[in-house]
């Protein structure tokens, strides 16, 4: 059974956020490296919800009143996205009240905070590559110089692709990613963001 079919069964063929029944597809909660993807890190969502999750400037606060129900979901991905959207909309008033009622386990809350939706714009740490391009969790980067990996004999060679990076939310210069089997911290000055098609 495919992931889409499993999620359709779980949701009863409805968007797990707003219960719409049209234009449903699998949405992997980013960043997949720390918890998204697969049955536990994905949800079935309609085109309207996905568009607004991925494009904050298109967010229609009234659409998200549906979170009053979906925030109580037993499924991790649904709870995480509900928390993120309520956090993003908290200045509307009513989402702040719902956030106050919501409870997430520590691991789920850490995962939910990966998006930075709970931060004011002035608090957000922006990660930029060597060319100044903004890096986001889940992006792929390429190393622009050989890097010695602390605590090992490994040297990550220039030109090595690091896929699905995660961001350090306390330091704009640090990202994490896998080079071979090893998870390493990389300084953003030594990477270049890869275009989607690379």
Is residue 18 located within the same domain as residue 100?
yes
* Higher-confidence position of 160 and 34: 160
Name residues whose C-beta falls within 8 Å of residue 16's C-beta, 6 or more positions apart in sequence.
7, 10, 43, 44, 45, 70, 73, 75, 77, 78
Smallest Cα–Cα separation from 67: which of 32, 105, 94?
A: 94
Residue 121 in any domain: the answer is: no
Q: What is the pLDDT of residues 72-123, one digit of tens each?
A: 999 999 999 999 999 999 888 899 999 999 999 988 888 888 776 766 655 5
Smallest Cα–Cα separation from 114: which of 140, 164, 80, 139?
A: 80
Domain boundary among 90, 113, 136: 113
Give the CA angle between residues 88, 90, 94 to the nearest 5°.
135
CA distance 91 to 26: 29
pLDDT score of 91: 87
Is residue 105 located within the same domain as residue 151?
no
Expressed as residue numbers, the domain containing 97 is 3-113
Q: What is the pLDDT of residues 134-191, one digit of tens each?
A: 888 888 999 999 988 777 788 889 999 998 888 877 788 889 888 888 888 899 999 9
């Amino acid at each position: 059974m495919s992931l889409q079919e499993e999620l359709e069964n779980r949701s009863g063929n409805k968007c797990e956020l707003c219960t719409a029944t049209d234009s449903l597809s699998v949405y992997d909660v980013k960043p997949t490296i720390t918890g998204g993807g697969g049955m536990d890190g994905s949800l079935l969502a309609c085109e309207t919800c996905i568009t607004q999750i991925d494009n904050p400037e298109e967010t229609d606060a009234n659409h998200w009143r549906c979170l009053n129900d979906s925030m109580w979901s037993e499924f991790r991905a649904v709870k995480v996205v509900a928390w993120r959207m309520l956090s993003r909309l908290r200045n509307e008033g009513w989402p702040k009240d719902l956030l106050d009622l919501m409870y997430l386990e520590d691991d789920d809350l850490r995962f939910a905070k990966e998006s930075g939706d709970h931060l004011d714009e002035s608090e957000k740490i922006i990660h930029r590559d060597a060319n100044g391009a903004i890096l986001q969790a889940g992006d792929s980067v390429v190393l622009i110089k050989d890097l010695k990996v602390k605590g090992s004999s490994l040297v990550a060679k220039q030109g090595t692709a690091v896929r699905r990076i995660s961001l350090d939310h306390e330091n704009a210069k640090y990202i994490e990613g896998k080079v071979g089997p090893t998870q390493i911290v990389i300084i953003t000055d030594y990477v270049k963001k890869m275009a989607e098609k690379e």
